[in-house]
Amino acid sequence: MSKTDNVKGYGNNSINWYPGHMAKAKRMMQESIKLIDVVVEILDARIPQSSKNPDIDELAKGKYRVLLLNKSDMADPEKTAIWKKYYEDKGFFVSIVNSKTGAGVKSTTEIIQKACQEKLERDRKKGILARPLRAMIAGIPNSGKSTFINSFAGKACTKTGNKPGVTIGKQWIRINKDVELLDTPGILWPKFEDPQTGLYIAFIGSINDDILFPEDMAYELIKILMKEYPGVLKERYGIELEKSGETKVAVDSDSGDGENDNIPENADTKFSALEILEMIGKKRGCLKKGAEIDLLKTSKLLIDDFRTQKLGKITLEMP
Ligand code: G4P
């Protein structure tokens, strides 16, 4: 059994993060989809695959699709560009945004119009007066939906209330003369078909930390960083990690198998993830009584440093 299999839900698809809300949100989105021209899905640019909910593909069948790579300020710009092209090649209209500062947010109107070009032309030919395009915002928790909507709608936004023939209680937000947003909870249940998905979603803070095992997360994060961003840990924590001599196999203090602590072979280090975590703990003075390294505290520090961008602009996965 690998270490991640031990983590609640990582290996068995059992992470429960919004059990009650899921069915309700899904029902509401299913009910509303017929009113919608375009589904705008907000992804976290640090995990553009794991933050993309496969349920939305089913829900949004036959609708125009826009993907927003949000939190672009926290992600690796070169990798974000690769992801943009990847999704464009798959037929999505993609925009890179930072909802916090508003960078790229205003041009969402343009990308929505581009995505709906075919419908706009069809209506024009039929002499139908263009009504605002209707968009639904979707995205996993913490992807930045509220921040995006606030930034996109700005102060000028007006809730237009119920429309004739539309289920009572639905709120439309008029962004401008061209676009209206349907205000939905926008939360759907991601299926963690790949255990890695749960882990990546945990890294970005979309799962309640109380149900996670920080040490397991830290080992995984160290492995990714050593492979993809080899200089980062050395630079941040002042630890020496260069490869010289044989790669060691760590003994895992929890399970005793040590299997999952091994850094990928191509990473430039001889140390295991556990050893690297210990080095970080030592440097940062995360110690228990008797000078034993407090691995839990060290893990939380590392994860927090990732989430608060102290490790730099990092993208955890590639197409
Ligand atoms: P949600 O509705 O999808 O659940 O997400 P929400 O907008 O609440 O955003 C979750 C967190 O992500 C917030 O941080 C928000 O500020 C941050 N965020 C959203 N978009 C961006 C972005 O493009 N760049 C960066 N750097 N951060 C973004 P928070 O710490 O929970 O709240 P706050 O202290 O910022 O208010």
Q: Whose CA is nearest to atom 6 of ligand 1?
A: 144
Query: What pLDDT is stored for residue 6 in this prediction?
Result: 35
Pocket of ligand 1 (CB under 6 A): 70-71, 73-74, 98-100, 139, 141-147
Pocket test for ligand 1, best of 97, 99, 101 (most atoms within 8 A of CB): 99
Q: How confident is the model at residue 21 (pLDDT cuts 50, 70, 90)?
A: low
CA 301–ligand 1 middle distance (angstroms):
20
Pocket test for ligand 1, best of 147, 187, 309 (most atoms within 8 A of CB): 147
Q: Whose CA is nearest to atom 17 of ligand 1?
A: 144
Distance from C-alpha of 23 to C-alpha of 55, rounded to nearest angstrom = 12
3-class state of residue 257 by DSSP: coil
Q: How confident is the model at residue 244 (pLDDT cuts 50, 70, 90)?
A: low
- Taking the CA of residue 150 as reference, the ligand 1 atom at the shortest distance is 7
The DSSP secondary-structure symbol of 134 reads: E
Q: Share the mean pLDDT of the chain.
A: 82
Check pLDDT > 70 for residue 245.
no
Does the fold of domain 195-307 match that of domain 19-183? Answer: no
- Taking the CA of residue 70 as reference, the ligand 1 atom at the shortest distance is 23
Neighbour tally for 99: CB within 10 Å: 25
Neighbour tally for 180: CB within 10 Å: 21
Residue 224: alpha-carbon gap to chain centroid: 16
- Taking the CA of residue 309 as reference, the ligand 1 atom at the shortest distance is 26
Sign of the dihedral defined by the CA atoms of residues 241, 242, 245, 248, in that order: positive
Check pLDDT > 60 for residue 241.
yes
Query: What pLDDT is stored for residue 265 in this prediction?
Result: 57
215 φψ region: left (φ > 0), alpha (ψ -120 to 50), beta (else)? alpha
Q: What is the mean pLDDT of residues 225-249?
A: 80
Name the CATH superfamily, with its identifier, for domain 19-183.
P-loop containing nucleotide triphosphate hydrolases (3.40.50.300)
Q: What is the model's pTM? A: 0.85
| Chain length of the chain | 319
Range 195-307 classified under CATH 1.10.10.10? no
Query: What pLDDT is stored for residue 205 in this prediction?
Result: 86
Check pLDDT > 90 for residue 116.
yes
CA 315–ligand 1 middle distance (angstroms):
17
pLDDT tens profile 69-95: 999 999 999 999 999 999 999 999 999
Query: What pLDDT is stored for residue 32 in this prediction?
Result: 85
Pocket test for ligand 1, best of 43, 46, 68, 142 (most atoms within 8 A of CB): 142
Query: What pLDDT is stored for residue 191 in this prediction?
Result: 62
Domain boundary assignment for the chain: 19-183, 195-307
CA 83–ligand 1 middle distance (angstroms):
21
- Taking the CA of residue 42 as reference, the ligand 1 atom at the shortest distance is 3
